[in-house]
């Protein structure tokens, strides 16, 4: 993966407290000092850490940068259980345990699990947090998912391919689509559905976001633009940016803008 890149990207693993081996992509190891900021990237539902390739390359030039393959995703082990918000937040806690002064960046389901991490374990290790294109419990409530969960049971291949194609606005090769769909299919269908069915009211996520006392950046596409405006209204210190011309993978569709915003936010944390 690192061949031809200015930044070396390596892979390592660690074992969780319930015995699951999780895989991590790492860049910028030469910047890993106690006083330096570390960037920790958490991917979304069914996607591998490798979707952060551009960010690992760019941020690794200045910061120690890590991207986690959650359990059952990417190159992490596939256990029979643990597909709950509480266990996935615990996995994040154990992932971040050796670190301090972390900028935690969660995309989609990874944003929700980052909020759950803060709820369960506090924000002591964090310098700030970035939530990327995910509902945070503000109004308006997102449009219901309709028949998506049943479609996963009935026509999984077709449904996953449609999902993967829909989250990118830029052209993605058929080979890449097939690779992402194949990776998503590693997880049993009921486990993947459990990740989309966390049993919390929407107010749970809003209360965590409102209670987060450190700098918060919320990057969204138009589907969450009103939620972003309301979060900034209800939590005035929140910084928001709306990507009007990007898909759900806005960091893939508009990497230069995304990276510039993260870099500026990271620099502001270093000055605090």
Query: CA 31 to CA 66: how far, in whole Å?
Result: 12
Phi, psi of 44 (to 5 degrees): -95, -170
The count of structural domains within the chain is: 1
Residue 184: inside a domain? yes
Q: pLDDT tens digit string along 117-127?
A: 999 999 999 99
Residues 6+ apart with CB under 8 A from 87: 18, 71, 81
- Global pTM reads 0.97
Residue 146: inside a domain? yes
Query: CA 156 to CA 189: how far, in whole Å?
Result: 8
Which structural domain range is residue 217 located in?
9-270
Query: CA 65 to CA 70: how far, in whole Å?
Result: 16
DSSP 11-40: EEEEE-TTS-EEEEEEE-GGG--TTS-EEE
Q: pLDDT tens digit string along 44-78?
A: 999 999 999 999 999 999 999 999 999 999 999 99
SS3 124: coil
Residue 3: inside a domain? no
Residue 1: inside a domain? no
The CATH number that applies at residue 239 is 3.40.50.1820
Residue 69: inside a domain? yes
Residue 128: inside a domain? yes
Residue 4: inside a domain? no
């Amino acid at each position: 993966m690192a061949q031809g890149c200015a930044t070396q990207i390596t892979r390592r693993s660690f074992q969780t407290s319930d015995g699951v081996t999780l895989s991590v992509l790492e860049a910028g190891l030469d910047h890993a000092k106690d006083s330096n900021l570390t960037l920790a990237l958490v991917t979304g539902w069914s996607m591998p850490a490798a979707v952060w390739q551009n960010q690992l390359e760019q941020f690794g030039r200045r910061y120690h940068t890590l991207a986690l393959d959650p359990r059952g995703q990417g190159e992490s082990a596939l256990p029979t259980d643990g597909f709950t918000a509480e266990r996935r937040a615990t996995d994040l806690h154990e992932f971040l345990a050796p670190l301090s002064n972390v900028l935690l960046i969660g995309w989609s389901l990874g944003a929700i699990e980052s909020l759950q991490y803060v709820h369960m374990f506090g924000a002591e290790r964090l310098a700030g947090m970035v939530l990327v294109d995910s509902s945070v419990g503000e109004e308006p409530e997102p449009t219901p998912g309709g028949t998506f969960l049943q479609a996963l049971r009935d026509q999984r291949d077709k449904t996953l391919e449609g999902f993967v194609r829909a989250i990118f606005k830029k052209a993605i090769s058929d080979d890449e689509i097939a690779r992402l769909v194949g990776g998503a299919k590693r997880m049993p269908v009921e486990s993947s559905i459990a990740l989309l069915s966390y049993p919390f009211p929407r107010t749970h996520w809003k209360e965590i976001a409102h209670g987060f006392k450190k700098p918060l950046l919320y990057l969204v596409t138009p589907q969450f633009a009103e939620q972003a405006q309301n979060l900034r209204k209800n939590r005035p210190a929140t910084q928001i940016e709306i990507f009007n011309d990007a898909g759900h993978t806005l960091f893939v569709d508009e990497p230069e803008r995304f990276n510039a915003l993260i870099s500026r936010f990271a620099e502001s944390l270093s000055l605090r």
